[in-house]
Amino acid sequence: MRTKKTKYLKLRVSDQEYDSVHEKAVLAGCTVSEYVRSSLKRTRTWTLSDQEIVKAYIREIARIGNNLNQTARWVNTYKSRADAAQVISHLISIERLLQQLLLQQTSKKAARC
């Protein structure tokens, strides 16, 4: 059963924008209204908390990058005395941090679906 559509949205667009939307609707085999409605369903609005989460991830990745740079600088400075086991240990800890961030991001995406 179809839902009766009683509300109307008015939207101003340029000629190029209209032509683009109209062409995409024709290619999709639907009306412009149907195309816009389906497009709106696929769009995710960013909330303030989403933005804060992304900023926190960026800060954490920057910190990990800084750790990696410090490790690389240390290795380049002390090439002859570099303890391979110590360097590998640092690199493994950086890899674990990145895996944790990826796992957190993946589990949050799964929780939203």
pLDDT tens digits, residue range 28-43?
999 999 999 888 888 7
Please state at what angle helix 32-42 crosses helix 15-28, rounded to 10 degrees: 90
Q: Are residues 60 and 31 in the same domain?
A: no
pLDDT, residue 15, reads 95
* Confidence band for 74, pLDDT divided at 50, 70 and 90: confident
- Distance in angstroms (rounded) separating the CA atoms of residues 26 and 18: 12
Q: Are residues 83 and 33 in the same domain?
A: no
The answer on pLDDT for 97 being more than 80 is yes
Judge whether 4 lies within some domain: no
Q: Are residues 31 and 54 in the same domain?
A: no
Q: Are residues 70 and 100 in the same domain?
A: yes
How far CA 41 is from CA of 11, 20, 23, in Å, comes to: 17, 19, 19
Task: Give the domain extent around 71.
Answer: 48-112
Q: Are residues 54 and 101 in the same domain?
A: yes
Q: Which amino acid is at 106?
A: T
Asked whether 91 and 58 are in contact (CB, 8 A), the reply is no
Q: Compute the mean pLDDT over every residue in the chain, rounded to the nearest whole number.
A: 82
